[in-house]
Structure formats: C-alpha cells, structure tokens
Amino acid sequence: MRPNENSNNPHESALDFLWLVVMIVAGIVLIWYFGKAYIATAVFYVRSYEIAVIDFVLNGWRKLATLLPFALPVPNLDSLQHWQAYIATRPKAAEFNVLASISTDVGSYLRYPIIAVLGLLSIVVYFSHLSARFQTVFNMKRLRDLEKQNWPQINPITKHNLVKEDVNKGAWAMAMTPMDFAKQHKLIKESTDENGKITVSLNKGAASRVFALQLGPVWRGVQYLPIHIQALYVVFAARANREREVADKFLKQISLSSLTGKLDFTGVSEAAMKYANDKAVQKVIGKHAYVLTVMASLLELARNDGVFATSDFLWLKPVDRRLWYMLNTVGRQTAVPEVAGVYAHWITEHKIQRPLLVPMIDEAVKGLEIALNEIVYEPEED
C-alpha cells in the first residue's frame, strides 16, 4: 500500500521551522553586510536629532537649577557630546558595536520620558477601555432617574415604585384577567353538579350589556373631545402627515409635565383645529362611529410613519385607562377583557369600512365564555 503523501510528519514540521529561522538570520546578516553604510547613516541621522532634543531639555534643566535655592541633580552630557561630535564627522560606515553603544547611551536618557509617556497612555487606555465604562452599579431608581433624560416618556412613573405596589390596584394596575373581569361585573353564575363540583357559566345578557357600555361616546368632532384625547388626535394626525417633529414635541411636553402632577396641553386645541379637516384623517374618521374606534384606527394610520408604541404616551394610562388599553390592543391578536367589546366592534367596522352605531360585541361575549371555560374556577372565600 502506498503511504499517504499528504500525511503530516512532526519531524518534517520541526525542520521547516528550523530552516525558516536560518533563512531569517541569513537575511539579516546579508542586509547588514551589503547595506551597513545605509543602515549606519539612518541610525546616526535619528540619533543626532534625539541628542539635540535631549541637550535642549537638559540645558533648560540646568538654568532652572541655578535659579532654585536648593540643589537639583544635573546630568553629565559628555557621552552625548562625544557622539554628537562623532556623528558630525559623517562616518561612511560603522561597526555594529558602535551603533549599539550610541543607541545605549541615548536610550539611557530617553527611557525616563518614555516610561512616563507609556505610563500616562496606560492610564488613558485603562480608563477609556470599554470594560472600564461598566463599573457603575445601578438600582432601578437610579437607572430610571438617569434614563428619563434620554426617554422622557418614562417620566409619568418616575415618582412611583411600581414593584412595591399591588399589580391589581390603582391607576397603574395591570389588565384584568377574564375571571377577575367576570367576577367584578358579576357576569358568572355558579352551579353545582351531581358530584358536588362547583361550575360556572357566563351570563351572556349581562356580559353583552357590559361590553356595549365599553364603546363609550359617539364621535361628534375633534372639538368635542376631552383635551387629552385631542392631544393624541394631534399626535396621530401629525405622524400620519409625516410631521414627526410636531408629534414628538407634544409627546415630550406632556410627558415632562407629568412630573408636576398636572399635564401640560398647551397648544393642543389650536393644533387639533389645524388637522380637523385633514383628508387622510377624515377618511379614517368616516369609517367609525365611536371615539375609541376612531382613535384606534388613527393610531394605525400614524404607524404608517414608522414604529409607534403606546409606551410613547404612557401618561395616558392613569388618565384614561380604557382608551389606553384600546390603543395598546391595536396590532394584537386578542384584546384584554376591559376593552374586548370595543375591540370586537372596531374589528367589525374595520372589515365593512363603515360606521356602526349598533354595538357589535357578540365575538367579545364568545371570547369571554371560551376563556372562562378554560380556567379552573376557585370560589371566593367568605
């Protein structure tokens, strides 16, 4: 069998490395032998300027020493002056030991400033390195206070410690679960089966009434809207018209004012009138009957200008919880129970492209019933 010609032989690899070293050494020797005069000239040229700089600095040091009332060490420059005179003779060639000697003598003076410069650079590199920038330890409050300068949208919650608050209570409470929603509005009926197990069923009539009431007021015009909804109307219309600067201005203004406890809606009413007859906005309004469904579609229109998250108007949640969750639901597959009726009606209007005054909330009732059937019911203790 023929041996594998491509097999790696450690002995051959070692010889290759040895030959490489021999070739490098031989190359250096040949360069020195044939180019000694050029190398010496270059070295002398560089060293002459180094000696001139050293002489200039140390002469200043001598003058300073004569002015001070105490003695300063004055270095001896005889060796450097000797080499300066030697270089001035313009030697055509020099032996290696001469180049080594002049480099050693000049280096003995240069090493101290070089050490100082390298030390300074090492300090700069250490403190400017990426890893050195991540030495500060933040807690949630400190990070929040720092970042609110970059993200004014978070200002509404900077005075609150939501981690310690009950997630089911207060203006910042999370969305209700289907079971909690049904219990709060008394939409479930308890019954006991033959085995004594308690089961629940949805009171569909009561659920329909609750979901219908979620629709809120009918759209009559932007001038009849509460001021906080007018503000969102302006923001959405501005984004729809690619006027992001206007939208960002109002969002920032309102978010920053939340720190004072009173939201600043200065200029909102005037801006709302500016966009009152905008064609793109009016086209959307003409397809919906209620304020909440109009605002949901205006948010969709505004997103044609790019990403627009509801966190950009976080101030809305404690002001108008229902509108907040309706806008927060836009783009989702399912709605939270608190706006499920509005969402179902909005989807219907969206499909038929016309306003509907009659509440279309049957799908919300069906969805709540399905959700309750999938939850294990736990009776409340008296």
Query: Residue 156: what residue type?
Result: P
Give yes or no: residues 209 and 309 share one domain.
Answer: yes
pLDDT digits (tens, 9 = 90+) for 47-106: 888 888 888 887 777 777 777 777 667 677 777 777 878 877 767 667 778 888 888 888
Q: Rounded distance, CA 203 to CA 184, Å?
A: 13
Cβ–Cβ < 8 Å for 231, 222: no
Phi, psi at 91, each rounded to 5°:
-65, 135
Average pLDDT, stretch 295-299?
A: 97
Q: What are 275-293's pLDDT values in tens digits? A: 999 999 999 999 999 999 9
Note down the domain range covering 353. Answer: 188-373
> pLDDT above 70 covers what percent of the chain?
92
**Residue 180 forms part of a structural domain:** no
249: tokens are: 């201005």
Cα 271 to Cα 227: distance, rounded to the nearest angstrom: 12
pLDDT of residue 131: 66
Residue 196 shares a structural domain with residue 125: no
Give the whole-angstrom CA distance, residue 371 versus residue 382: 25
pLDDT at 189 (0 to 100):
86
Same domain, 216 and 124: no
- CB under 8 A, 24+ apart: contacts of 326-334: 326/292, 326/295, 326/296, 327/232, 327/295, 327/296, 327/299, 329/296, 330/296, 330/299, 330/300, 331/300, 334/367
Which of 112, 131, 150 terminates a domain? The answer is 131
Same domain, 230 and 355: yes
Listed residues 131, 158, 178: the one ending a domain = 131
Buried b (16+ CB within 10 A) or exposed e, 183-198: eebebbeeeeeeeeee
Q: Is the pLDDT of residue 3 over 70?
A: no
User: What pLDDT, in 10s, does the model give residues 191-215?
Assistant: 777 776 777 889 999 999 999 999 9
Domain-embedded: residue 165: no
| pLDDT class of 310 with cuts at 50, 70, 90 | very high
Domain annotation covers residue 146 = no
User: Is the per-residue pLDDT at 322 higher than 70?
Assistant: yes
Question: Which tens digits make up the pLDDT trace of 93-152?
Answer: 677 788 888 888 888 888 888 899 999 998 888 877 766 667 778 888 888 888 888 888
The whole-angstrom separation of Cα 23 and Cα 184 is 90
Instruction: Find the helix or strand (DSSP H, E) in which 375 lies.
Output: none
Q: Cα–Cα distances in Å, from 148 out to 152, 169, 262?
A: 5, 25, 18
**Number of structural domains the chain divides into:** 2
